[in-house]
Structure 1
Amino acid sequence: MRRCRVSFEQAGLPLILRLTPFSQPDDLDDRLAAMHWHRFDPADVMVLPSLDGFGEPGSSERLTPLSAADYAALIGALRRSSVEEITGHARRLEEASVRHQAFKLERDGVLLACGQVAIDPGPAGTSVGGMAGLFDIFTPEDQRGRGHGHRLCAALLAQARVEGATTAYLQVGAENDAAQRLYARLGFLQGYRYHYRSDDPRAWA
């Protein structure tokens, strides 16, 4: 813990720990709670056991691929991110070890939803299929409640299946009821829940 804290302090960042059911030692979360470390941002990792049934959707909407820089700028503008946050997001996407592809869903030039799919191919020389991850799924506020997020995710999963993925995963806030319902309708099941702890108020402010 001390070495971690030193590294974070040198970077000017608060020390944040992510606690999962697999964290060691088994009682780490209880220890941190006893030390009054604040618990925040619970989220679920959800899994989709099979991509069977996801075909190319027929609709009047247009799915357009975006570069890492263009997507970071788009999602950053929607979330009112700073220039530094947008630049950092684009750099992380460009340097990711697993290939990400971002898309936006439009109709008549109007943005309906946007998101990314990352495809991790299965082990070479085996029959194990790849795994697709959905990231940064976002629907503009004035377009919510119309099924655009569902259609976008279905299209991304269909694309992933074409590229050899057989299963999928995502992460979603435990308190994001609308997104939880959306992913359940797509067939996603809860894998496990995690949360964060920190003793530095900057972490959850």
Structure 2
Amino acid sequence: MNDRAPRAFDATLLHRLEEASLNASAPPQQLLIDGWLVRFCPGKAKRARSVNAISAGRLLVADKLALCQRVYDEAELPLFIRITPFSEPSGLDAQLEAHGLRKLDDTRVMVCADPARHIGGGLPPDMSLQRVGLDAFAQTVGALRGSSLAQRQAHAQRLANSPVPFFAALLKRGGEVVGCGQVAIEGDMVGLYDIFTAPAARGRGVAGVLCRQLLADALSRGAKTAYLQVDAANAPARALYHRMGFIDAYAYHYRTTHPTAA
């Protein structure tokens, strides 16, 4: 871990969080280029279609950028590089900025060391939780987000081939889907993923109900520590997660060569 990593948390925990999130987002379309993990899944999630600089390697950064750019050009995708406290070589973010890559998507990884304290309360009487298969989940969350058919199919493929087991659920009110989400469980760690509330149901506590139900299920499967990733600018979501016992562990962002890609 380089010198930009947070000091308030145990280094071993931070590494486990990062590895768990990489494992949970692993797509079939990935390869290594001189110590950089290059992912080029055509889905919506940037973590499955970006470069993770997990090792310094031996080539110059400029040479590795050229090799990575070729991969993304052939895949007809924009090049994104994910920058974390663990990115190598040290000083990579500044080097990418000097090469003209712009910064976007400031994100926080949050952790709850004792989720059992925050999952009390059952489902409201007007709500029901439906467990669904991963393909059905990818289609449902994709439709709610407005994802293209190709993005939904890529999401379903990634979940089906994940080395980490996922468990997905839909939260319904009166038969209508008001929220959805899933968990990835690796050992005693559980990650909350794709937590989404239908626009018409926002501001009514749907996300909190959903997250508590998902965490309760994960704890019953042996999970002890929970983590998630959230946009740093999403104040309502961050406030909810703080109330549920999550605190910031570290930050990451992306850099891209594309002038307008988001």
- The TM-score with structure 2 as length reference comes to 0.71
**C-alpha displacement of 1:202:** 5.2
CA–CA separation in structure 2 for the residues paired with 1:173 and 1:39: 14
Matched, 1:149 2:207: yes
Query: Tell me, which stretches of 5 or more residues in structure 1 are unaligned?
Result: 122-129
70-79 or 10-19: bigger deviation:
10-19
1:30 aligns with 2:84: no
Return the letter of the residue paired with 1:133.
G
Aligned to 1:66: 132
Who is 1:57 aligned against?
A: 122
Task: Answer yes or no: is the 8 Å Cα contact 2:180–2:210 preserved in 1.
Answer: yes
Deviations 1:114-169, CA, capped at 9 Å, x for gaps? 10011112xxxxxxxx1111000011111111111001101111111111000111
Q: Offset of 1:56 from its aligned partner?
A: 6.1
Q: Which runs of 5+ in 2 are unaligned?
A: 1-63
Per mean C-alpha deviation after superposition, the further-off stretch among 132-141 and 194-203 is: 194-203
| Residues 193 and 82 of structure 1, relative CA distance in 2, 3 Å threshold | same
112, 115, 118: which one pairs with 1:48?
A: 112
What amino acid is aligned across from residue 38 of structure 1 in structure 2? R
What does residue 194 of structure 1 align with?
252
CA change 1:146–1:56 in 2 (3 A) is: closer
Does 1:183 find its partner at 2:249? no
Residues 82-127 of structure 1: CA deviation (Å, up to 9, x unaligned) = 1111111111111111111110111221222110011112xxxxxx
Matched, 1:163 2:221: yes
Secondary structure of the structure 1 residue equivalent to 2:89: coil
Maintained 8 Å contact 2:115/2:245: no
Q: 1:46–1:169: 8 Å Cα contact kept in structure 2? A: yes
2:71 counterpart of 1:13: no
Cα deviation for residue 34 of structure 1 reads: 2.0
Cα distance in 2 for partners of 1:10, 1:107 equals 44
1:59 shift after superposition: 2.7
Instruction: Calculate percent identity across the aligned residue pairs.
Output: 42
CA distance in 1, matches of 2:142, 2:71: 28
- The total of aligned residue pairs comes to 196
State the 1:22 CA deviation: 1.4
Instruction: State which of 133, 142, 158 in structure 2 corresponds to 1:76.
Output: 142
